[in-house]
């Protein structure tokens, strides 16, 4: 009999965007850490799209990856538009993907399959169901993505990020559903304010004023950049500003803020991209202005950060607006939608900048709705689903 402990096998599927990819990565790392304490090795295989973000991330992280054919359904309010040549061509790829996925599942023999959504999750999830392998579906958004909607009925367990998502599940699926929250990278929770001051050279900031962090995501947001540029003379009299504007927008921001008076410019730091220092920047920030994607919401609520949210209008299913409205209803954020103007932004920030008590109340409401332990909760669900009795 071998003295080596049996390997626990996790098959991950999902991707296309960071919103599907990074929660899965965070969860599998948490699973590896958990089982390492017991001396159990974890074998991971990620099934995704060949050109998706997940292919890049797995290569960087040293995770075994296998591509699966998949098709993208381009939705439309017009049923006839759904019958486009492109849709028909892509849908023809789905059976190919299912056949590939069956072979992958049969060969890898996973103890459990984790699906985080995206079109590639459909064939892999269907294959897991066909071959009677435990399937855990995780939904990051307040709504329910199309792929997860299709797979939820076949899943062993369904993990959701928000209690309100439970109402969107079919009644017979709800008894297998659990609220875990959306996994947040462990390093996000370990930021240190003083490290941000050192790393970004913020010695000219006024320590008696709050710190506002503005971000439009990795690529930045022209809408948010324009609003902030207009607001800066007013803002910098009341706060210090760290502004992540996007690499392609950095020169424009330098030019548009060059005329700021020196005493105000000393309290403004603009950057194209915030990398490893992000946890420290978030720890330093008293208020955040940002988009409202699922990952951003998870981080802000895990940290309890008061926020002014400007949803991306083109987000699929109006997801970002739903996220922002939910947090506003909970008293954890202010949502600004549509054609947002400088007076709108000024009105939203004025009360927060001038009233530390209001910031604290909003911070408390945010934290109460956060799930900093979401990855550990999802690991619990995976391990439970993997037990023979759960399948």
Asked, for residue 379, whether it belongs to a domain, the answer is: yes
- In this predicted structure, what is the pLDDT of residue 87? 47
**Residue 73 CA, distance from chain mean position:** 22
Clarify whether residues 144 and 274 are in a common domain. Answer: no
Mean pLDDT by 10-residue block, N- to C-terminus, for the chain (391 residues)? 74 92 96 97 96 94 95 50 49 78 98 95 96 97 88 97 93 96 95 97 97 93 96 98 96 94 97 95 98 95 98 82 94 96 97 96 97 97 84 43
Bridge-based pairing state of the strands 211-215 and 135-139: unpaired
Q: Strands of the chain (E only): list them.
A: 8-13, 42-48, 64-67, 112-115, 135-139, 157-160, 177-179, 211-215, 240-244, 268-271, 287-290, 307-309, 333-335
Mark whether 160 and 221 lie in a shared domain: no
Place of tokens 């962090």: 213
Please report where in the chains the tokens 């969107």 appear, as a residue. 168
pLDDT score for 86: 55
Sheet with 64-67: list strands edge to edge: 64-67, 42-48, 8-13, 112-115, 135-139, 157-160, 177-179
Domain count, the chain: 2
What local confidence, expressed as pLDDT, does residue 95 receive? 79
Per DSSP (E only), the strands in 25-101 are 42-48, 64-67
Q: Both 108 and 190 in a single domain? A: no
Q: Would you give the distance in Å from CA 97 to the centre of its chain? A: 26
Specify the pLDDT at position 89.
52
* Rounded to 5°, angle at Cα 93 from 88 and 99: 145
* pLDDT at residue 76, as a whole number: 45
**Per-residue model confidence (pLDDT) at position 88:** 45
Instruction: State pTM to two decimals.
Output: 0.88
Q: Can you tell me whether residue 380 is helix, strand or coil?
A: helix
Query: What pLDDT was estimated at residue 142?
Result: 86
- Quick one: tokens of 375? 């990855």
The answer to whether residue 3 sits within a structural domain is no
Do both 225 and 320 map to the same domain? yes
Same structural domain, 158 and 220: no
User: What domain range includes position 50?
Assistant: 8-184+372-390
Q: What CATH number is associated with residue 383?
A: 3.40.50.2000
Within 13 Å and on the Cβ side, how many CA atoms surround 240?
21
Pair 156, 121 in one domain: yes
């Amino acid at each position: 009999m071998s003295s080596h402990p049996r390997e626990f096998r996790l098959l991950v599927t999902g991707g296309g965007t960071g919103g599907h990819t990074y929660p899965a990565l965070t969860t599998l790392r948490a699973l590896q850490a958990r089982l390492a304490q017991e001396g159990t090795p974890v074998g991971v295989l990620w099934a995704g799209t060949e050109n998706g973000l997940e292919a890049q991330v797995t290569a960087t992280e040293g995770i075994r990856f296998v591509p699966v054919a998949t098709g993208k359904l381009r939705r439309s309010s017009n049923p006839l538009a759904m019958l486009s040549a492109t849709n028909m061509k892509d849908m023809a790829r789905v059976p190919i993907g299912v056949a590939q996925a069956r072979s992958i599942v049969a060969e890898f023999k996973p103890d459990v399959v984790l699906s985080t959504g995206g079109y590639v999750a459909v064939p892999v999830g269907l294959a897991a169901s066909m071959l009677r392998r435990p399937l855990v579906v995780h939904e990051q958004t307040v709504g329910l993505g199309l792929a997860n909607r299709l797979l939820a009925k076949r899943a062993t367990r369904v993990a959701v990020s928000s209690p309100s998502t439970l109402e969107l599940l079919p009644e017979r699926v709800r008894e297998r559903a659990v609220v875990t929250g959306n996994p947040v990278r462990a390093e996000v929770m370990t930021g240190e304010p003083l490290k941000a001051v050192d790393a970004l050279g913020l010695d000219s900031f006024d320590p008696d004023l709050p710190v506002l962090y503005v971000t439009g995501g990795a690529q930045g947001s022209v809408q948010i950049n324009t609003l902030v540029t207009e607001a800066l003379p007013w803002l910098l009299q009341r706060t210090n500003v760290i502004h992540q504007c996007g690499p392609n927008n950095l020169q424009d921001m330098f030019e548009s803020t060059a005329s700021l008076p020196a005493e105000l410019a000393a309290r403004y730091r603009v950057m194209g991209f915030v990398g490893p220092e992000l946890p420290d920047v978030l720890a330093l920030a008293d208020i955040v202005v940002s988009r409202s994607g699922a990952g951003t919401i998870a981080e802000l609520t895990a940290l309890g950060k008061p926020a002014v949210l400007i949803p991306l209008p083109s987000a699929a299913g109006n997801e970002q607006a739903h996220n922002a409205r939910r947090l506003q209803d909970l008293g954890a954020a202010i949502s600004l939608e549509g054609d947002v103007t400088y007076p709108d932004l000024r009105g939203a920030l004025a009360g927060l900048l001038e009233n530390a008590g209001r910031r604290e109340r909003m911070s408390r409401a945010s934290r109460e709705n956060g799930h900093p332990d979401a990855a550990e909760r999802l690991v619990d669900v995976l391990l439970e689903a993997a037990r023979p009795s759960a399948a």
